[in-house]
Amino acid sequence: MKKTAIAVFVSGGGTNLQALIDAAADGKLESGEIKLVLASNPKAYALERAKKANIETAVVTPKEPDAEEKIQQILEAHGIRMIVLAGYMSILSERFTRRWENRILNVHPSLIPAFCGKGFYGLRVHEAALARGVKVTGATVHFVNEIPDGGEILLQKAVEILPGDTPETLQKRVMEQAEWKLLPAAAELVANKLMNEENCYVENE
C-alpha cells in the first residue's frame, strides 16, 4: 500500500517534529511518510532536524505575498495528503483549512477546552494553568479548522501538575509525557485512514 505523504509545519526548535521522526524510525508511524518539513521561520532549528533525517524542507514566511498559495503549490508539488502542525506559530486561514478539511492535525499543550484559543500558545498555556491552580493539565491533538484550537478532538492525555512547578518545568513534562506520545499516535491514526481510503479508491477505479 502506498503510504500517506505527510508535511510537518514548524516554526521553532522542532521537538514535536523529532518525536514524529523517531516514531517513523521505530515503526510507530507506519502508514505515513514525512515527505516535507515546511517552516514559517528560516532560522527554525527544526529545519536542521529535517535535514539530518534526509527530509526535504521549504520556507514560506507569513509576511510573503500570497503565502498560503505558495504553501499550497509546494504541498501539491510534493504530493502531500496530510499536514501536521508541530509548533507552527502562524494561523491558517479558513480558506486554507477548508481545502484540507480533516487532513490537518495540531497538538495543543492543554486539555481542550481548557486554556486554548487565540493567544494561548507556548509557555502562556502553562502560565495560565498554574495561575488558575488546576491540579491536572495535559495535551490534545485535534483537527484544525478556522477556529483556533476549535477542531474535532482526536486524542488527549492528562499530566499531573506538581508542587513547585514553573511554566518551564510543566512545559517539559507535558511534552515528554503527552505531546511526544500523542502526536505520532494521532498521525498514524489519520494517515492509516487516508491510506486505506485512497487505496480503496484506486482499486475501485
At 131, the pLDDT band (50, 70, 90 cuts) reads very high
> Quick one: what percent of the chain has pLDDT higher than 90?
89
Query: What is the predicted pLDDT for the residue at 55?
Result: 98
pLDDT at 204 over 60: no
Buried b (16+ CB within 10 A) or exposed e, 94-132: eebbeebeebbbbbbbbbbebbbeeebeeeebbbbbbee
Cis bond upstream, residue 42 (ω within 30): no
Q: What is the mean pLDDT of residues 20-32?
A: 96
Average pLDDT, the chain: 94
Known active-site residue 126: no
Distance CA 133, CA 122 (A): 18
Residues 67-123: pLDDT tens digits?
999 999 999 999 999 999 999 999 999 999 999 999 999 999 999 999 998 889 889
Query: 201: Cβ–Cβ under 8 A, 6 or more apart, which residues?
Result: none
pLDDT at 201 over 60: no
82-85 and 56-59: which strand pairing? Answer: unpaired
State which residues form the domain around 150: 4-204
pTM: 0.94
Q: Name residue 108's amino acid.
A: H
pLDDT at 202 over 90: no
Q: Identify which of 65, 66, 70 has the alpha carbon closest to the alpha carbon of residue 39.
A: 70
Query: What is the predicted pLDDT for the residue at 200?
Result: 65
Query: What is the predicted pLDDT for the residue at 199?
Result: 67
Using an 8 Å Cβ cutoff, are 17 and 179 in contact? no
User: What CATH number does residue 89 fall under?
Assistant: 3.40.50.170
Q: What is the count of structural domains for the chain?
A: 1
Residues 145-180: pLDDT tens digits?
999 899 999 999 999 999 999 999 999 999 999 999
Q: Which of 78, 108, 126, 142 is catalytic?
A: 108
Using an 8 Å Cβ cutoff, are 104 and 194 in contact? no
